[in-house]
Chain A
Amino acid sequence: MIKKLKIENFTLFKNCDMEFSPFLNVIIGENSTGKTHLIKLLYSIIKSYETVHQLDKTKMKFANHLTKEIIDNFMVDSIGRLSSRVQGHKHTKIELFFDNEKLELEFSTRSKELNLKEYKDIATKNSIYLPTKEILSIFENFISNYEDGKIKIEKLYKDLAIKLAQNKTHLNNTKKSLIKNIENIMKAEIIYDEEKEKFYIKQKGIGNLEIGLVSEGYRKIGTLLHLIANGNLSDNSILFWDEPEVNMNPKFAENISKLLTSLSKRGTQIFLVTHDYFLIRYLSYEAKKQNLKIKFISLYKDRISDKFVNYEIEEDIDYLEHNSIIESLENIYDLKRKSFYNE
Chain B
Amino acid sequence: MNSFIESNCNFMFNQNIKCYNFDSKKESIFKENDFCGNSPIDFLFLYKNDIFFMEVKDINYFKDYFIIKDSNKRGAFFDKQVCDIYAKYIDSYTILSLSNNQNITEYQNKLTKLSKVPKIILFVVDSIKKEELLLFIEKLEKKLKKKFKNLKIDSIFVETLNNYNNELYVVRQGSVK
Contacts and interface: CB of A to CB of B under 8 A. Distances in A.
Contact of B134 (A336, A339, A342): A336
Interface stretch (A26-34, A239-247, A303-311, A324-332): A324-332
B131 A336 contact: no
Nearest to B157: A340
B131 A329 contact: yes
B47 A336 contact: no
Main secondary structure of the interface of A (DSSP, over half): helix
Interface in A287-343: 318, 326, 329-330, 332-334, 336-337, 339-342
Interface in B35-68: 47-50
B105 interface: no
Interface residues of A, number: 13
Given A340-B157, A341-B165, A333 B47 contact: no
Contacts of A333: 130-131, 133-134, 137, 163
Contacts of A334: 130
A340 B47 CA distance: 11
B19 to A, nearest CB: 15
A341 B169 CA distance: 13
Contact of A326 (B48, B49, B131, B155): B131
Contact of A342 (B49, B131, B137, B163): B49
Contact of B119 (A329, A330, A340): A340
Contacts of A318: 129
Most buried by B among A332, A336, A341: A341
B134 A332 contact: yes
B67 to A, nearest CB: 16
Main secondary structure of the interface of B (DSSP, over half): mixed
Nearest to B135: A329
Contact of A341 (B47, B129, B130, B163): B47
Nearest to B165: A341
Nearest to A334: B130
B43 to A, nearest CB: 15
Nearest to B119: A340
A329 B134 contact: yes
Contacts of B119: 340
A111 to B, nearest CB: 45
Contacts of B131: 326, 329-330, 333
A339 B130 CA distance: 16
A239 to B, nearest CB: 28
A332 B137 CA distance: 11
Interface string A28-54: 000000000000000000000000000
Interface in B9-53: 47-50
Contacts of A341: 47-48, 165
Interface string B73-96: 000000000000000000000000
A329 B130 contact: yes
A330 B49 contact: no
5 contacts: A329-B134, A333-B134, A336-B134, A336-B157, A341-B48
Closest A-B pairs by Cβ, 4 of them: A330-B130, A333-B134, A333-B130, A340-B157
